[in-house]
Structure 1
Amino acid sequence: MLSSAALAGCVTPAVAPAQPSQEGAAPQEVTTLELWHFLTGAYSQVLDELSGRWNEKNPNYTLTVRAIPIAEFKREIATALAANTAPDIAGVDNPDHASFSALGAFADVSERFAALPGKEEYLPGPLASTMWEGKHYGIPGDTNTLGLYINVDLASAAGLDVETPPKNWEELTAWAEAMSKPENNVYGIAFSARQSEEGTFQWLPFLWQNGEDIATIDSPKAVEALSLWVDWVNRGLASREVINYTQGDALGQFSASAAAMTINGSWQIPTLRRAENPINWKVVELPYSIQPASAMGGGNWAIFATSSHIDVAWTFLQEFTKPEAVEEIYIPAGRLPPRRDLLRAGEPWKDDEAYQTFFRQLEFARPRGPHPRWPDISAAIQTALQQALTGQATPEEALKRAAETIRPLLG
Structure 2
Amino acid sequence: MTINFWHGQGDTAVLVIEDLVADFERSHPNIKVDTGGGVLSDAMLQKVLAALAAGSYPDVAYIFGSDLANIARSPKVVDMGDTIAGTNYWKPVRDAVMINGQVRAAPALVDSLAVVCNKTVFSAAGVDLPKENWRWDDFVSTAKALTNVDTGTFGTGWPGAGDEDTVWRLWPLVWDAGGDVIGSNGRGIGFADAGVEALEVVRDLARDKSVYIDPKSGSEQMYQVYNSGRMGMVVTGPWQLPDILDAGVDYEVVPLPSFNGKPVTISGPDTWTVFDNGAARVEAARTFVSWLIQPEQDVRWALGAGSLPLSQESESSPEWSQYAAETPGLKVFATALESARVRPVHPAYPDISQALATAITSVLLGKSTPEEAMRTCADEADAALRIPR
Q: What is the deviation of 1:183?
A: 2.2
Q: What is the deviation of 1:284?
A: 0.8
Q: What is the deviation of 1:303?
A: 1.0
CA contact (8 A) 1:218 1:400 kept: no
Report whether the alignment pairs 1:180 with 2:147: yes
Q: What is the deviation of 1:300?
A: 0.7
CA contact (8 A) 2:98 2:104 kept: yes
Match of 1:253 among 225, 236, 244: 225
The residue number in structure 2 matching 1:348 is: 322
Report whether the alignment pairs 1:310 with 2:310: no
Deviations 1:382-404 (A, max 9, x none): 11112222232211111111111
Paired letter, 1:212: G
Report whether the alignment pairs 1:58 with 2:38: no
Q: What is the deviation of 1:85?
A: 1.7
In structure 2, the gaps of 5 or more residues are 183-188
Report whether the alignment pairs 1:167 with 2:137: no
The residue number in structure 2 matching 1:219 is: 192
Distance 1:389 1:164, change over 3 A: closer
Deviations 1:101-151 (A, max 9, x none): 1333411122x236x342xx1111122111111100111111112110111
Deviations 1:38-74 (A, max 9, x none): 2211222221222222122222221111341345422
The residue number in structure 1 matching 2:44 is: 73
1:6-405 alignment to 2 at 5 Å?
Answer: 31-65=1-35, 66-70=37-41, 72-110=43-81, 112-113=82-83, 116-118=85-87, 121-162=88-129, 164=131, 167-215=134-182, 216=189, 219-239=192-212, 241-244=213-216, 246-275=218-247, 278-290=248-260, 291-308=262-279, 309-326=281-298, 328-345=300-317, 346-351=320-325, 352-405=327-380
Paired letter, 1:61: I
CA contact (8 A) 1:349 1:356 kept: no
Q: What is the deviation of 1:200?
A: 0.9
Distance 1:327 1:370, change over 3 A: closer
Paired letter, 2:233: M
TM-score normalised by length of structure 1: 0.85
Q: What secondary structure does 2:329 align onto?
A: helix
Deviations 1:358-390 (A, max 9, x none): 001122222222111222221111111122222
Deviations 1:236-292 (A, max 9, x none): 1213x34557433222221112111111111011111112xx121111110111342
Q: What is the deviation of 1:341?
A: 1.2
Q: Counterparts of 1:373 and 1:403 in 2: how far apart (Å)? A: 13
Deviations 1:276-330 (A, max 9, x none): xx12111111011134222222421111134432222222112233232255322
Q: What is the deviation of 1:99?
A: 1.3
Q: What is the deviation of 1:217?
A: 5.4
Q: Counterparts of 1:208 and 1:337 in 2: how far apart (Å)? A: 24
Distance 1:391 1:173, change over 3 A: closer
Aligned residue pairs: how many? 374
Percent identity among equivalent residues? 24
Q: What secondary structure does 1:102 align onto?
A: coil
Distance 1:244 1:217, change over 3 A: farther
Larger Rg: 1
CA contact (8 A) 2:181 2:190 kept: yes
Q: Counterparts of 2:154 and 2:300 in 1: how far apart (Å)? A: 40
Deviations 1:189-238 (A, max 9, x none): 11223211100122222212212122345533320110111111111121
Query: What is the RMSD of the two structures over their aligned residues, measured on CA atoms?
Result: 2.1
CA contact (8 A) 1:155 1:179 kept: yes
CA contact (8 A) 2:5 2:33 kept: yes
In structure 1, the gaps of 5 or more residues are 1-30
Distance 1:307 1:366, change over 3 A: farther
Q: Counterparts of 2:244 and 2:42 in 1: how far apart (Å)? A: 26
Distance 1:105 1:382, change over 3 A: farther
Q: Counterparts of 2:130 and 2:197 in 1: how far apart (Å)? A: 28
